[in-house]
Amino acid sequence: MCDTSNEAGISTVVDRKRTGTGELQFERRTHLISAVEILDVTLGNPNPRLSEVNLKIASGEYFGLIGMNGAGKTSLIKCILDFCRPEQGEISIFGQPAHKVAARAPIAYLPERFQAAAHLRGEQFLRRIMQLYQVPYHQGDALELFDSLSLTPTALTLPLGKHSKGMAQKIGLIACLLSGRQLLILDEPMSGLDPYARVKLKTLLQARRHANTPSPTLVLSSHMLVDVETLCDRIAILHQGQLQFIGSPAECLQHFAADSLESAYMNCITGT
């Protein structure tokens, strides 16, 4: 048997077997592998920031991480990105161990506190990021995303140090989207965005999952529970470094006997 996979999360398995006459036959099977697989991860001793976390995120899934400050959301993201190594457990990205350089090739990441070099103009920044991703930069594609997020074209020529927080956040999001990567990890992407921009971003993310084949995978950390409920197929509630719930938003409402995700979340962490 031969097993190969690519960064889109498609695994091809070739089985070899002999017929009754001794003839060798090959059968090819393809299936989607997990975009992210977290097995028994613990981070931090003696006071763990994450404790025995187990989680699978399917290829093409939109997945939300929710929890209060200090719950472990950003720590988990840093482990996925190999920014920090857990004391225990394993993490894989599209079947590759997370500590391998190749595992990070399909990832585009927006940190919680996005800050780019203040002297760079918007277009200079985007060009440099595309060079790092080794993909061509097309101004037309950038301007299309500018329009989708209601960002004026003047942001291309304005130094990033003169951008408002919301403008800078949009530039960071646009860089991730232009990368064409199959795994988007966005840590608090709604931070700094006004309500109108939040709606525009959600509309854009929803449209992109239907426009691309294969569909990108999204890992979204957010305090905006209504945004998570709108966007995500499944969610995980992290509290004090432990996973308290994994399932769809609808399953969360049912499990915690709530009529809103906010109420379900509060019932979860308070034990009511």
User: Could you list the mean pLDDT of each consecutive 10-residue stretch along the chain, which spans 272 residues?
Assistant: 47 52 58 86 84 95 94 94 93 96 95 88 95 94 93 92 90 95 95 89 90 85 92 95 95 95 94 78
* Contact assessment for residue 232 and residue 78, using Cβ atoms and an 8 Å cutoff: no
Q: What is the pLDDT at residue 267?
A: 95
Q: What is the pLDDT at residue 244?
A: 95
> 10-18 and 2-5: which strand pairing?
antiparallel
Q: Model-level pTM?
A: 0.85
DSSP string over 59-104? TT-EEEEE--TTSSHHHHHHHHTTSS--SEEEEEETTEETTSGGGG
* Contact assessment for residue 107 and residue 81, using Cβ atoms and an 8 Å cutoff: yes
Q: Determine how many CB atoms are found less than 10 A away from the CB of residue 156.
A: 18
Query: CATH 3.40.50.300 occupies which residues in the chain?
Result: 38-106+182-270
Residues forming a β-bridge with 25:
17
Tokens of 78: 């840093």
Q: Which CATH architecture has domain 38-106+182-270?
A: 3-Layer(aba) Sandwich (3.40)
Q: Determine how many CB atoms are found less than 10 A away from the CB of residue 120.
A: 16
* Contact assessment for residue 258 and residue 264, using Cβ atoms and an 8 Å cutoff: yes
